A and B are shown apart, each in its own frame.
Chain A
Amino acid sequence: MAAMQAVSRTRVSEVAPRQFWRHVAWRRFCANWGAVVAAVFLLVMYATAAGGPLLSRYSPNAVDIANTNAAPSAEHWLGTDESGRDVLARLIAGARTTMTVGLIAMIIAIVIGALVGSLAGYCGGWIDSVLMRFTDGMMAIPYFFLVLVAVAALGPSFHNIVVMIGLISWMVVARIVRGEVLRYRGVDFVLAAQAIGAKPARVLARHILPQAGPVLIVAATFGVANAILLESALSYLGLGIQPPQASWGNMLSNAQAYVWENPRLPIYPGVLILCTVLAYNFLGDALRDALDPRYREGNM
């Protein structure tokens, strides 16, 4: 640690500081074995989601009334559910749904958050106060009920869910981006860019927002974790992804209905949600340690 700090003080004289930092960040990240395990786990999950139907002999929605609630066997590795559907095939199909929802919802949240945050931070004045009061207001509302009402009203289709989750998750990003914009607004390289006549949009996009990159990556990682939790909660409540399309959340709500007949059923989707969210949180934490200079001392 001491050696690394000594190195970091000489950063200014480095020839290629950006490359150097990438190197340091990468080394810091790899030193954290928990995060490496998490990253590998997530890669496997995404590969599974992408491979999807190729990975199982069974269709996730194929009903087999003669073979319901079967125990794990050579044919059905994880058994079958209350309609005789192969649990493993449904888990794989669910991985595709859940991982996609998490990613897209996070992208929506980042885009809105970055727009609101940079507008507020760059323009300042009344635009700033209006946008930030709005952000605070959104944070103060029990957003879960807004989603609930919206989903009940607009209907629980796949992209309604994704958009809704994105629309209620941008506030933290907006605050972070605003903070970063304020930090860099008066810095020399930004003033220089403004002096040679760069338009505000260019100054923001080319000079200020890239500085916020590391912080955004960290926020995005935690964002995916939250989006996945939210999606599974909504699907569990019957307001998210609708059956027969499998999602880990709606598999759990079925599982609870048949818990007396087949107590094994709730274990698998729950463990997968837990591990995926845990992996994202671990990853976010490690990325924050590796990328964000304010957490370098390791006090969070």
Chain B
Amino acid sequence: MTAYLVRRTLQSVVLLWIVSVAVFVLIHTAPGGAAVLQNPDLSRDQIAQFRANLGLDAPLPVQYVRWLHGVLRGDFGRSYNTVEPVARLVETRLPNTLLLTGIALGLAVLLAIPLGVASATHRNTPIDRLVAVLSFLGISTPVFWLGIVLIVVCSVQFRILPAGGMYQIGEPFSVGDRVRHLLMPVFVLMTANLAEVTRYTRSAMIDALGEDYVRTARAKGLPGPAVLFRHALRNALIPVITIVGVYLPRAVSATAITETVFSWPGMGQLALQSAATRDYPVVLGTTLAIAVFAVAGSLLTDLAYGYADPRIRLG
């Protein structure tokens, strides 16, 4: 087990390192360069001075080693645009993203499992068909469009919910205000993840219900719900856990888009803005932070997998 953990962690570190190299090379070889250097008011000498100050005149490998050296000591550099340290930017944005994603993903799983189970136990009935149609709609709806439609309905037409942001400017913090700002983004993000998990729960549940141990449990006279939840569902959840792991990278993109639609001040929005202005240190910092979470997530799901199913020996 320990050996497995060590190996997986090492693999993850290598993966993250490759991501950092890829991102670094990509953004630095881009024609044009950082947006701050595009300012037409600057003279050629001033731009050269800026480049030298930012260390951009050194050869690429040297720049990378300098950056990596900083990262290993916890220094991710400063934003070109706002001169704030990247670490502090990430620190202020990360909790907002975790709040939004945590609630949305939690709700999605809590809803998807009963839906999937109901759909599997009522196979080929109207309930099953309804769930199937809804999940088809769910995977086919563009996340951002659902957000815009909600804004049109709830904010423009009925004016009951704020169109974006995280709090009402100029008002003291209150839980009610935060919840009002959270409602639409959480709903959008939840919908984006709900359909996929429901579909996998359904098919895993159908497989489990066809197994011998379910027949045995029924034959020895266990009540229906006990068979369903204690025997079938526990086994069905194993493949569902893997799918959630595989699915994490996609959930990250949905989060970034949702944050942009609702101007939610999170990591995704920060990454998008910095990519648009080519704020290199911020692009690197945010991409790396997001990659760390995605990789850690997939490691955790693998561990959960081994925990849920003792037959699987991690090693």
Which one of A152, A267, A278 contacts B27 once the chains associate, using CB atoms below 8 Å? Answer: A152
CB distance from A163 to the nearest CB of B (A): 14
B142 to chain A, nearest CB (A): 5
Contact between chains at B294 and A141 (CB < 8 Å) = yes
A152, B32: Cα distance in complex, Å: 10
Instruction: Give complex CA distance A231, B250 in Å.
Output: 15
Distance of A263 Cα from B154 Cα, bound (Å): 12
Q: Tell which of A233, A239, A281 touches B139, judged by Cβ atoms closer than 8 Å.
A: A281
Tell me whether B141 is interfacial, beta carbon within 8 Å.
yes
**A149-B275, A259-B151, A263-B152 known; A139 and B246 CB under 8 Å?**
yes
Contacts of A299 in B (CB 8 A): 203, 206-207
**Complex Cα spacing A281 to B136, Å:** 7
Report the separation of the CA atoms of residues A300 and B120 in the bound assembly, to the nearest whole angstrom: 10
Rounded to whole angstroms, the CA-CA distance of A80 and B271 in the bound complex is 34
B181 at the interface (CB under 8 A from A): no
Tell me which of A237, A255, A282 contacts B148 (CB under 8 A).
Answer: A255
- Interface: A29 (CB within 8 A): no
A189-B276 Cα distance, complex, nearest whole Å: 54
CB distance from A171 to the nearest CB of B (A): 10
Is the pair B149, A278 in contact by a Cβ cutoff of 8 Å?
no
Contact present for B203 and A141 (CB under 8 Å): no
The answer to whether B27 and A274 touch across the interface, beta carbons within 8 angstroms, is no
Which of A151, A259, A285 is the most central at the interface, judged by chain B CB atoms within 10 Å of its CB? A259
Q: How long is the Cα–Cα vector from A290 to B30 in the complex, in angstroms?
A: 46
CB pair B148 A256 closer than 8 Å: yes
**Set B26, B30, B252: member contacting A142, Cβ < 8 A:** B252
Identify the closest chain A residue to B35 (Cβ). Answer: A152
Residues of chain B within 8 A (CB-CB) of A277 are: 140-142
Report whether over half of chain A's contact residues are helix, strand or loop; otherwise say mixed: helix
Q: Which of A45-98 contact B (CB under 8 A)?
A: none
Count of B residues near A, CB < 8 Å? Answer: 51
Distance in angstroms from B315 CB to nearest chain A CB is 16
Interface string of B91-110 (1 = CB under 8 A from A): 00000000000000000000
Cβ-defined partner of B287 (8 Å) among A145, A237, A256: A145
Contacts of A179 in B (CB 8 A): none
In the bound complex, what is the Cα–Cα distance between A55 and B157 (angstroms)?
33
Query: Which of A144, A269, A285 has most B Cβ within 10 Å?
Result: A144
Of residues 263 through 315 on chain B, the ones whose CB sits less than 8 Å from some CB of chain A are 271-272, 275-276, 278, 283, 287, 290-291, 294-295, 298
Contact digits for B10-31, partner A, Cβ 8 Å, 1 yes 0 no: 0000010011001100110111
Given A137-B15, A260-B156, also A154-B144 (CB < 8 A): no
Cβ-based interface call for A122 (8 A): no
Closest CB in chain B relative to A277 CB, distance in Å: 4
Contact with A along B101-138 (1 / 0, CB 8 A): 00000000000000000000000000000000000110
Task: Add 11 more A-B contacts to A141-B19, A274-B142, A281-B140 (CB < 8 A).
Answer: A140-B295, A140-B298, A141-B15, A142-B290, A144-B256, A229-B142, A236-B144, A239-B272, A239-B275, A278-B136, A300-B203
Could you pull out 17 A-B pairs where Cβ atoms are within 8 angstroms? A140-B298, A142-B253, A142-B291, A148-B275, A149-B287, A152-B276, A153-B27, A153-B278, A154-B26, A239-B272, A259-B152, A270-B148, A274-B137, A274-B140, A281-B136, A281-B140, A282-B136
Which A residues lie at the B interface, using CB under 8 A? 137, 139-146, 148-155, 225, 229, 232-233, 236-239, 249, 252, 255-256, 259-260, 263, 266-267, 269-270, 273-274, 277-278, 281-282, 285, 299-300
